[in-house]
């Protein structure tokens, strides 16, 4: 896997489930429920990311995000992919 998928983390996850407009209303009407949902979303992220890294063998081959390539083991420092000719 070269590029990690957009995981819709944190508030993006809740917006994907509820819809952005409804999320804005929820923030006004039931902020405590949104707070609980955010806590739940953050609690699963580490496990979710660990499984993705393992499945995509990103520890061995690195990954790209936002035009920057990160290498975990093969190269010591990341480089900006847009500056490579």
Q: In the predicted model, what is the mean pLDDT of the chain?
A: 76
- Helix (H) or strand (E) run with residue 48 in it: helix 31-55
Instruction: Report the candidate in 70, 44, 43 with the shortest Cα–Cα distance to residue 56.
Output: 70
Q: How far is Cα 17 from Cα 36, in angstroms, rounded to an integer?
A: 14
pLDDT at 39 over 70: yes
Domain ranges for the chain: 11-83
User: Where are the alpha helices (H) located in the chain, listed in sequence order?
Assistant: 11-18, 20-29, 31-55, 58-61
**pLDDT score at 47:** 84
**Residue 13 pLDDT more than 90?**
no
pTM, to two decimals? 0.57
């Amino acid at each position: 896997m070269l590029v990690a998928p957009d995981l819709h983390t944190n508030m993006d996850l809740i917006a994907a489930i509820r819809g952005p407009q409804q999320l804005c209303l929820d923030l006004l009407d039931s902020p405590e429920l949104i707070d609980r949902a955010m806590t739940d979303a953050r609690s699963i992220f580490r496990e979710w990311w660990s499984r993705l890294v393992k499945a995509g063998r990103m520890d061995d081959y690195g990954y790209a995000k936002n035009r920057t390539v990160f290498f975990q083991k093969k190269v010591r420092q990341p480089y900006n992919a847009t500056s490579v000719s």
